[in-house]
Each structure stands twice: as C-alpha cells, then as structure tokens.
Structure 1
Amino acid sequence: MTQLAQPAGRPVTRDRFDTRLIAPMILGAILNPINSSIIAVSLVPIGAAFGAPAAQTAWLVSALYLATAIGQPVVGRLVDLFGPKRLFLAGAVLAGVAGVLGTVAPNLPTLVMARVILGFGTCAGYPAAMSLIRSESRRTGRDSPAGVLTALAVSSQTIVVIGPALGGLLIGLGGWRATFAINIPLALASLVVGARRLPSRTPAAAAPERATGGARAAVDYPGIALFAATLVALLFFLMTPAVGHLYLLLVVVMAGAALARRELRTADPFLDLRLLGGNLPLLATYGRTLLAQTVSYAFLYDYTQWLEGGRGIGATEAGLLLMPMSLVGILVSTVTGRRPELRGKLLVGAAAQLVGCALLLAVTGDTAVWLLAALAVLFGVPQGLNNLANQNALYHQVDDARLASSSGLLRTFTYLGAMVASALSGAFFGRTADTGGLHQVSLVLVVAAALLLALTAVDRSLARLGRPAATREA
C-alpha cells in the first residue's frame, strides 16, 4: 500500500484519525459558504456605491455559483490525480488574490471578476477534505469516519448561519470592501496550515495510472471544456429563463452530446460516464441532492421573498423567522451525524420536506407569525438530515480514484438546485412575491419532494451504506 507523505514531525497514531488535518479541512471547506452567505448583506451598499441596480449586483451572487458549480468537479478531478495539498494551496492563493482585487475594485465588473476568481479559489476545500477523510480511513482501517464527516457538514451549516451577521459586522467596521478583505487573512491562514499539515499525496492520488499501459493519467482538458460549456449554458438559462433564451437549451444539448462522445472515447475521461452509468446508487445520490436542494433553496429564497412581499414582514424580521431552520438543521446534523444508518434519515428528511411543501399551500397573508416560524423549524429537519446523509452516501459509493471529483460533482448538483429555485422565483413571482405565486412555487416543490421520497424509498442500496463491513456481508 502507498503510504502518505507526512510532514516532518507529525505524530501519527495508527488507529486514530490524524486530528492535525481537521483545521485545514474545516478552513478550506468553509471558504465557499462564508462567501456565499456574507454577500447577502453587501449587495445593497455595493449597489449604492456604484449606482448599480439590483439586477446588476445579483451577478455577484450568480458569478460565485457559476464558477463553483463548474470548478468543484474540475478541481476535484485534479485532487484525484495530484493529491490535495497542491490544489488546496493553489485555491488559497486564488482566494487571497480575489480578496485583494475585491478590496481595491474601482467598479462593479471588477467585483464580479473577483467573485469568479473567488469561486474557483474556494473549489479545492471540500473535495480535498473528502479525499483526506478517505485516506485517513484507509490508514486507520475505519470504514466510516462519521464524526469527521459530520464536523465537515456542521461547520459549513454554521458558517451559513453566522455569515450574514459577520457581514453586517464587517460592513459596520470597514464598509462593504471588508467583506472581500476578510478573504486575505483566511487565505493566509489556509496557506500556513495547509503547507504545514497536509500530506503531499493520498493513496488515491499517489499513482494515477492508466488502466492500460501504466502511463501517468493525463488531464482531460477537452472534456473539462465541454463540461464547462454545457453547464454555463444551462446555468445561464436557469438564471434568465425566457422564451428568447431557449437557444441556450440547444447549446446544452449539443455541448452535452459532444461531451458524452468525447468521454466515452478517451482513456482517461474527466467524467467517467461508463463508471457513472454502472453506479446507479451514485446517480440516485446526485438526483436526491438536486431535488432536496431545489426544495431547500426555494424555501430559503422564495419563502423569504413572500414573507416580505406577500406577508408584509420587514427584512430583519424575515431573517429572524428563518433563523430556526438553520439552527434546527445544525442540531439535527450534530445529534444524528454519528449514526451510520442513512436510508432512515433520508426517508424522514424527504417526508418532512413533502409535509412542509404541502403546508406552504395553506399559508396566506393572514397566517399567524408563530405558524410561519414553525414552518422554518419543520424545514430545518430535512436540512440537517438530507445534506449530511447524501454526503455520507456518496463517500461510501465512490472508490478512491474518483472520490474528490465525485464530491465536487455533488456540490455542482447542489448549486443546480439553487439555480432551479431561483428560476421558480422568476417564473411565478411578478413585481412582488404574492401569495398566489408562492402557492404555484409550492405545487412544483410538492412534486419535487414527492419524487425525492419515492427515489429514496426504492433505493435499497442505502440500507447497506455506513454499516460495518461485517454487518454488510452478513
């Protein structure tokens, strides 16, 4: 077995997870969610500073999602091939550059460029963390490092909760530019702990060999380019759904067909379509993630808009009404994270989303505030169950050689869900987010939640995941 290249002086206990890896793993993994959430309170002051309307400042959100949705599986594939350390450090450098650029940006286009760079810079953290967890699992002989996987998920959820508050504090101290400048010390900290604590190789990346011939695996640049073209066209359509933009769907079909043709004919594909086609449980995990995140983000975005437009609640109060969802999600993930069973968690999470979406059909402009808060509590349950369970399912469904890229692709489906939720808002809300529009959105969400429950119920492979090897074999 290939051994990890350990930094000098690192104490390693044979049968325990190397806790020195936790700091860089968590630090790298939170860079993306902190920048996803902190921008929420920055859009208005940025628009005021540059005289830009909301339609233009919205690109600061979309640019990060777009870069991350493309970059996560791409960088993940590079982690598979070359190990986590180099990609982690390169990502930290990009995040630092984006922080500097955003801090001194003279106009909005420069800020958008900074967010694109930031999106790519934050792509390495999560795939690198998943790769490191697997390598430590192999070294220690423990199949299911549930505690570490839970810590990874809970840290991101926590950052999403405190991100807007942190953004408000930074703006109060140094203006909106401080929300970009915060990436400079975070990037420097990532560089220091990454250089000192990360191994240069993991067993999966130590010898990326071709299946035939033994030559070093090459980077599939044409496959990456076609994947990016397909996803960019799809995401642009989801961001601006309209009859006049239907040509983008044609681009999706053509680029997707070219991607499939390329990947099926190359020896070292970026997306191993044969492997994906033969791994139906993994495809089901991606499908569940897309459905669950569509419902989750729609509640976060569309329900919030309705609270302000249809229910007449102020922005601050609406934010407080949504706070229980995140807090309950963190609590549920923490309490259930170490339990190895996944199917039961996903069934409960899907059922809770279905009930929640059905209840959305009953809300009106006169619904009591405590009932609106109770809805947020209900939606917190699937947030805490679905995200962690799908992450853990993927961890057990993918082999070492594709874990990082598969983990990155999981994040791509997460952001696709966010884009679909945004498209629903554009499709059913007019000038204001009224109750009729919310009910139309909710009908779509009921269908999505029902599909999620059905997909989970028929997937018998979930019952075997996360359990000790001896139990699975029995």
Structure 2
Amino acid sequence: MTTPSTSHVRNEGFGVTLVAPLVLGSLLNPINSSMIATALAPIGRAFHVGVSETVWLVASLYVTSAVAQPTMGKLADRWGARRVFLLGLAFVLLGGIVGALASSLAVLISVRILLGIGTSAAYPSAMRVLRTHAQRLGRETPRPVLGVLSLAALSSAAVGPTLGGFLTGVAGWRSIFFVNVPLAIAGIVLCLLFVEADEKRAPARDGAAIDWLGLLLFTGAIVAAMVFAMSVKTSPRFWLVPIALLLIVALVLHSRRPGLTEPFLDLRSLAANKALSATYLRFAVTCLLTYVVFYGFAQWMQDALGYSATEAGIATLPLSISAAVASLLGARTTSIRAPLAFSAFGLLVGCGGLLVLGDHSSRWALGAVGIVFGVAQGASAVANQAAVYEQAPAAQIGTASGLQRTAGYLGAVGASSLLGFFYGARATSAGLHALAVTMVVLSALLCAGTLLDPALATAKKSKPSN
C-alpha cells in the first residue's frame, strides 16, 4: 500500500514548475508543423503564388526538423540541455517577430527554417534535463512525466489546424507566426526560473564534436527524398531517387570511417544497440501509418464524401481526443511491450476498418475507425518514448531523443509518398482501399516485429508515480 509520505518522496523533484517549461517548449514544434495548414491559402493570395510554392512552407520545417532534432540533441548532451533549450526558444522568438513582419514568401520560408531549428531544440533538451535531474535525485523519471511530454506533442499537433484557422480568421495569417513570441517569452522565463543551470563545458572539445559533413550528407538525402515524395502527385522526379541513394551510401561510408569518433549518424552505436535501432524503426513505421490517416483520412472525406474542411476537421476529432486519452492512460503503465503490442494490433484493426469504409459511410463509422487509430497512436507514442529513455545510454539521451523525432519525420515523408501514389490528383474510395491494403501489410509486419523483439521482453520497467 502506498502511503502519502512515500508517494510524496517518489513525486518530489518532478513537479509542475520543472515540467511546465519543458512541456511548453516541446509543443512548439508539432503545433508549428500543423498550424500552417489553414494559412497556406491566405499566404498564397497575399504573395500571389500557388500551391507548388506555398507547400515549401510545410516542407522546409519538416526537412529542418528532421536534421535539427538529432543535432540539437547532440548539442544538449555536450553543451548543456538548459543552454540549448534557451537558445532554441530565442530562435523561436526571433522567428515569430520576423514572420509577423515578412514581406515575401522567401522570407517566410527562411522563418520556417529558423522555427524548425529553434523548436527542434526543445524535446531532446527536455529529455536530457529529465535524465540529468533523475540522476541527481537518484531515481527514475516518473512515467507520467514522460507521458505529459508525449501528450503535449499529440494534442498540440491535433489542435494546430483549428488554432491556425482561428488566428488566421481573427487576426490574419501573420498571427500564426506572432503567436510564437509570447509562447517563447513564457518558456524562457519559466526555464530561467525553474530549470537547473548546466555544468560548465569545454567549448573547444564541443565544437569538434559536430560532424558537419555527415550532417550535410544526411540533409541532402532527406531533401532529395522529400522533394521526390512531394513530386509524386504531379510530375514524379525519379532522377532524385539515385541521388538520394548515393547520398545515403556516402553517409554510411563516411559514418564508418575509423578516424571519425563522433559521426552525425553513429551507425556503429546503432548496430551495437539493436534494441534502440528497432525502436527507431518501429516508431518510423508507426508514424508513417498514423500520418497517412492524419492527413489522408480528412482528404478522402473532403474529396470522396463531399465534406467541407470544417466538417472533416470535426470528423477527425474522435481520433485526436482518443489519442490524448490513450496517451494519459499509457503513462500510468509499467510495461513497454504491452502498449506497443496493443498499438500495433490496433493499427492493424484500424487499417482493416478503412477497407470497409465507402462513399456512403456514416459519421459513426468514420468516428469508430478514427477512435481505433487514435488509441493506437496514443499508446504507441508514450511506449516508444519510454523505450528510447530506457534503451539509450544516459550520456546520449538528447541525441537519441532527437533521432527518435527524425525517425518520425522520415515516416511522414513515407506517408506523403504513399498518399501521392494512391490518391493522385483526387482522393477516392478506390484509392483509399488500395492504400489500406498496403497499410494492412505494414501494420502486420509491425505486429510481428513488436512481438518478436527480444529486447522488449527484457526491457526495464520504470515504476509509475501515484
């Protein structure tokens, strides 16, 4: 039986004052990723450009985040998480101001890159702060604290389009950039007040730790893959595929050089830590499936069922709400394997549900399928986050957490490619069903991989806090 005194001891040191700035910073990346969706059309009209140009406002942040997450995580491990967290918020503050005053699309794209760098600092830095704080206290980070970070990302991404639409309607598209200003200021103040200062580091040694060539090769491969995925819907640029493959090969050869002690993508460590590598792969596949639903489900409802954007948004609310609830419930579990297996089978059931939807499906059927996907997404988010926390070396938790987010963005790239291939110019029920068959295969492989992963059977289980 847990007494009030023991409960207090276990909760001591992980209160609201510590967690609040970490949560505030961690929600900035997903909310900026999704908030732009409802402002693309007004921005295009303001600068007299089309969809092919405004789409780079989305792509620029995805590409930047995919590269910046592990980079900022490495810096957090070496320079100090609090310093990097504050630096990221300073970038967000600057981006919010410049974005609100932007006079061209090129400036806005540059601002999105700046926001991608700034917002990417928060999550890996937050994970590093929690790990360092737990070591100082001599205990594990409570699972609910990790769950709160996961919930912040899920809920902010879900409400992003709604918030963006509200701000754009009330104050114009510039407000979706300016809203970052008060959020960044609040994060900076809270961090300075309640997050412990970092230990002093040796700057000369830290500067040498950044593998700039590896970073450029990785960036080039991501950009080539992203541009190809974006071109599938219109005019596929197949020539980018060999370029991406060549850059990947070059990155692998570069990363395995004997004289390179700390490569940007540490393939030796990933090969040695098979459990963590499996977690990254599992997270990427999960994100691919959930991003397909997040964007493709609403698009199908608008094109095939004739829903308005508002109606489609309301129809996807069960998915967002169930994901948030599942994330909170998952934070209370002591297992890693059980919620991951539950999530994988949930995705399999949800993908099967897409096969039975059609042009005359009721709103109840749409909501039911959305709830299945939402529960699976929420359960997976917390469990994969906990797996990274348990499997990554303590000294590299920032880098490891950044790579987890990168894996998620790679899943988003794959989702964009699948949607473009199966939907083409317009989403139809036939396209949805063909897409669902592919998703069933992927989710079945995810189920098998989760059940057969030996590392999950022996994963350390952190005790939840009451």
Q: Return the TM-score normalized by structure 2.
A: 0.91
The one of 192, 205, 210 aligned to 1:219: 210
Q: Work out which of the residue numbers 294, 302, 324 in structure 1 matches 2:288.
A: 294
Aligned AA (1:313)? Y
Letter in 2 for 1:261: L
The 1-side partners of 2:34 and 2:57 are apart by 12
Question: Aligned residue for 2:160?
Answer: 163
Q: Contact between 1:15 and 1:140, CA under 8 Å: does it hold in 2?
A: no
Find the partner of 1:346 among 340, 343, 348: 340
Shift in alpha-carbon separation, 1:47–1:15, aligned structure 2, 3 A: closer
Residue number among 210, 215, 231 corresponding to 2:222 in the alignment: 231
Shift of 1:52: 2.2
Q: Is 2:23 the partner of 1:16?
A: no
The answer for the alignment partner of 2:357 in structure 1 is 363
Read off the aligned partner of 1:225 and give its amino acid letter. L
The aligned runs of 1:360-439 (5 Å cut-off) are 360-439=354-433
Q: Offset at 1:342?
A: 1.1
Q: Does structure 2 conserve the Cα–Cα contact (< 8 Å) formed by 1:14 and 1:140?
A: no
What CA distance in whole angstroms lies between the structure 2 residues aligned with 1:118 and 1:281? 32
Distance 1:42 1:466, change over 3 A: farther
Amino acid of the residue matched to residue 270 of structure 2?
L
Give deviations 1:133-161, integer Å, cap 9, x for gaps: 11122122223420110111112222223
| Residue 18 (structure 1) shift | 4.2
Q: Cα gap change, 1:386/1:209 in structure 2, threshold over 3 Å: closer, same or farther?
A: farther
Offset of residue 72 of structure 1: 0.4
Partner of 2:120: 123
Name which of 231, 237, 244 aligns with 1:240.
Answer: 231
SS of 1:245's equivalent in the other structure is: coil
Q: Deviations over 1:35-62 (max 9, x none)?
A: 1121122112212222222222222111
Inter-partner Cα distance in structure 1 for 2:132 and 2:158: 30
Deviation at 1:439, TM superposition (A): 1.1
Deviations 1:104-125 (A, max 9, x none): 1112222111111111111100
Identify the residue that residue 5 of structure 2 maps to in structure 1: none
Asked whether 1:453 is paired with 2:447, we answer yes
Aligned AA for 2:254? R
After TM superposition, the structure 1 stretch with the greater mean CA deviation from structure 2, 183-192 or 147-156, is 183-192
Aligned match of 2:4: none
CA contact (8 A) 2:77 2:398 kept: yes
Aligned AA for 1:253? L
Shift, 1:216, TM fit: 8.9
Cα distance in 1, alignment partners of residues 242 and 443 from structure 2: 28
Q: Relative to structure 1, is the Cα distance of residues 431 and 251 closer, same or farther in structure 2, using a 3 angstrom cutoff?
A: closer
The aligned residue for residue 51 of structure 1 is 48
Quickly say closer, same or farther: Cα 1:15–1:297, change in 2 above 3 A: closer
| Cα deviations by residue, 1:50-95 (Å, 9 ceiling, x for unpaired) | 2222222222111111110111011111111111122112111211
Deviation at 1:243, TM superposition (A): 8.0
Which of 256, 260, 281 lines up with 2:248 in the alignment? 256
Any idea what the Cα deviations from partners look like across 1:302-353, whole Å, max 9, x if unmatched? 1111111111222111111100111011111112212120111111111111
* Bigger mean CA deviation after superposition, 109-118 or 347-356: 109-118
C-alpha distance in structure 1 between counterparts of 2:103 and 2:462, whole Å: 56
Give, in angstroms, the shift of residue 194 of structure 1: 2.4
- 1:230 Cα offset (Å): 2.3
Gaps of 5+ in 1: 1-12, 470-474
Distance 1:342 1:97, change over 3 A: same
CA shift digits 1:437-457 (9 cap, x unpaired)? 111111111111111111101
C-alpha deviation, 1:415, in angstroms: 1.1
Question: Does the CA contact (< 8 Å) of 1:306 and 1:435 recur in 2?
Answer: yes
- Matched length: 451
Paired letter, 2:91 = L
Offset, 1:271: 2.2
2:267 is the counterpart of 1:276: no
Residue 74 (structure 1) aligns with? 71
Distance in 2, matches of 1:254 and 1:66, equals: 18
- Runs of 4+ displaced beyond 3 Å: 205-210, 241-244
Please say if residues 330 and 383 of structure 2, whose CA atoms lie closer than 8 Å, have aligned partners that are also in contact: no
Show structure 2 runs of 5+ residues with no match. Answer: 1-8
Q: Distance in 2 between matches of 1:179 and 1:346?
A: 35
User: Given residue 122 of structure 1, which amino acid in structure 2 is its aligned partner?
Assistant: T
Give the Cα separation in 2 of the matches to 1:235 and 1:427.
Answer: 14
* 2:193 alignment partner in structure 1: 196
Q: Conserved in 1, the CA contact under 8 Å of 2:82 and 2:129?
A: no
Q: Distance in 2 between matches of 1:465 and 1:145?
A: 16
**Whole-angstrom CA distance in 1 between matches of 2:311 and 2:10:** 51
How far off is 1:464 after superposition? 2.7
- Residue 336 (structure 1) aligned with residue 330 (structure 2): yes
- Counterpart Cα distance in 2 of 1:224 and 1:346: 31
What's the CA shift for 1:21? 2.1
Residue number in structure 1 paired with 2:130: 133
Do the aligned partners of residues 387 and 207 (structure 1) sit closer, same or farther apart at CA in structure 2, a change above 3 Å counting?
A: farther
Percent identical across equivalent pairs? 39
How much has 1:164 moved relative to structure 2? 2.4
Asked if the contact 1:217/1:268 (under 8 Å) is kept, the reply is no
Partner Cα separation in structure 2 for residue 314 and residue 14 of structure 1: 49
Alignment partner of 1:39 out of 21, 36, 40? 36
Q: Give the structure 1 partner of residue 6 of structure 2.
A: none
Q: Matches of 1:388 and 1:165 in 2, distance apart?
A: 24
Shift of 1:369: 1.9
Look up the match of 1:5: none
Q: Give the whole-Å Cα distance in 2 for the aligned partners of 1:34 and 1:243.
A: 30
The answer (yes or no) to whether the contact 1:137–1:145 under 8 Å persists in 2 is no
In the TM superposition, residue 289 of structure 1 has moved relative to its aligned partner by 0.7
Asked if the contact 2:31/2:157 (under 8 Å) is kept, the reply is yes
Letter in 2 for 1:416: L
Please identify, of 18-27 and 128-137, the stretch whose mean Cα deviation from structure 2 is larger. Answer: 18-27
CA distance in 2 between partners of 1:244 and 1:237 (Å): 7
Amino acid at match of 2:98: L
Question: Does the CA contact (< 8 Å) of 1:14 and 1:139 recur in 2?
Answer: no
